C-alpha cells in the first residue's frame, strides 16, 4: 500500500516514472501499425472507386452465384440464389432481372415459381425496346412446350 501511495505522489508531483519495456509496449506499437495500415486500405479503396464506373446490380451477382451452384449440382443453393435474385430484381424494378431469375427457375424445373415470376414481370410493365417482352414470351412458349412432353418415356425391351 505504501508503494501505491509513493507512485501516486510521484504522478501528482510530476516526477518521472521509470520507463518500462516489455511485451505490452511491443503490442501497443503493433496495434498502431495495424490501425494505420487499415486506414490506408480504406482510403486507397475509396480513391480507386469511381462513381462513373458501371456497377453490376445486386440481382446480377446473385444470379451468377445461382448459376455456379446449378453447375455444381447443388439445386438447393441454386434455388435460394434464384429466389433472392428474383426479389432483388423486383425491388429494383428490373424486368430483365425478374426474367433472368425466372429462367433460372425454369432450368431447375420449378414451373410454379416460373409462372409467378412471369406474373411479376407483367406487373412491372413492358420495357422501351421490348427486348424483355420478347424474352418473356419465349420463356412462356418454352414453358408451354414442356407441358406437351410426356412425363415418362417407356423404351421397348
Query: What tens digit of pLDDT does each residue of 29-71 get?
Result: 778 778 877 777 766 665 444 555 555 678 899 999 999 999 9
Question: Going by C-beta distance under 8 Å and a sequence separation of 6 or more, which residues neighbour residue 90?
Answer: 97, 98, 120, 124
Q: Is residue 8 part of a domain?
A: no
For the chain, how many structural domains are there in total? 1
DSSP 14-62: TPPPPP--SHHHHHHHHHHHHHHHHHHHHHHHHHH--TTS----HHHHH
CATH of the domain at 69: 1.25.40
If one counts every other C-beta atom within 10 angstroms of the C-beta of residue 62, the result is 23
Q: Report if residue 41 sits inside a domain.
A: no
The 10s digit of each residue's pLDDT in 123-140 is 887 664 465 667 667 777
Sequence-distant (≥ 6) Cβ neighbours of residue 77 within 8 angstroms: 65, 66, 69
Q: Which residues form the domain of 139?
A: 58-147
Is 63 a member of any domain?
Answer: yes
pLDDT at 149 over 50: no
Could you tell me if residue 4 is inside a domain?
Answer: no
Within-domain flag for 137:
yes
Please say whether the beta carbons of 99 and 140 come within 8 A: no
Residue 1 DSSP SS3: coil
124 lies in some domain: yes
Q: 83-108 pLDDT, tens per residue?
A: 999 999 999 888 889 989 998 998 89
Other Cβ atoms closer than 10 A to 52: 4
Residue 53, in any domain of the structure = no
Per-position DSSP letters for 113-138, written without gaps between them = HHHHHHHHHHHH---SS-HHHHHHHH
Amino acid at each position: 500500500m505504501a508503494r501505491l501511495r509513493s507512485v501516486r505522489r510521484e504522478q501528482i508531483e510530476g516526477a518521472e516514472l521509470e520507463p518500462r519495456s516489455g511485451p505490452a509496449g511491443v503490442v501497443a506499437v503493433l496495434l498502431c501499425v495495424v490501425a494505420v495500415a487499415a486506414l490506408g486500405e480504406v482510403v486507397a479503396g475509396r480513391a480507386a472507386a469511381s462513381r462513373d464506373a458501371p456497377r453490376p446490380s445486386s440481382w446480377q451477382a446473385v444470379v451468377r452465384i445461382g448459376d455456379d451452384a446449378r453447375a455444381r449440382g447443388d439445386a438447393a443453393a441454386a434455388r435460394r440464389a434464384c429466389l433472392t435474385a428474383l426479389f432483388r430484381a423486383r425491388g429494383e424494378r428490373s424486368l430483365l432481372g425478374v426474367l433472368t431469375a425466372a429462367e433460372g427457375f425454369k432450368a431447375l424445373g420449378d414451373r410454379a415459381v416460373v409462372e409467378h415470376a412471369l406474373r411479376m414481370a407483367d406487373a412491372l410493365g413492358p420495357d422501351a425496346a421490348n427486348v424483355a417482352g420478347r424474352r418473356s414470351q419465349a420463356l412462356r412458349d418454352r414453358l408451354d412446350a414442356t407441358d406437351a412432353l410426356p412425363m415418362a418415356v417407356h423404351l421397348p425391351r
